[in-house]
Amino acid sequence: MEKVLIDANFIIALLCSEDSCHAKAVSLSEELPQKQVQWVLNNAILYEILTVLSKRRVKPLARLFYQTVKQEGVVQFVYITHDIEEKAFIYFGRMRSNNISFFDCTLFATADAYNTKYIVSFDRHLRNKTAHTIIHAPNQLS
Domain boundaries, the chain: 2-79+116-135
- pTM of the full structure: 0.89
Give, as one character, the DSSP assignment of residue 33.
Answer: G
Query: Are the C-beta atoms of 140 and 118 separated by less than 8 Å?
Result: no
Show pLDDT as tens, one digit a residue, over the chain (142 residues).
Answer: 889 999 999 999 999 999 999 999 998 888 877 778 888 999 999 999 999 999 888 888 889 888 888 876 778 999 999 999 999 999 999 988 888 899 999 999 999 999 988 899 998 888 777 777 888 876 666 5
pLDDT of the residue at 37 = 85
Query: Are the C-beta atoms of 52 and 12 separated by less than 8 Å?
Result: yes
- The domain 2-79+116-135: what is its CATH number? 3.40.50.1010
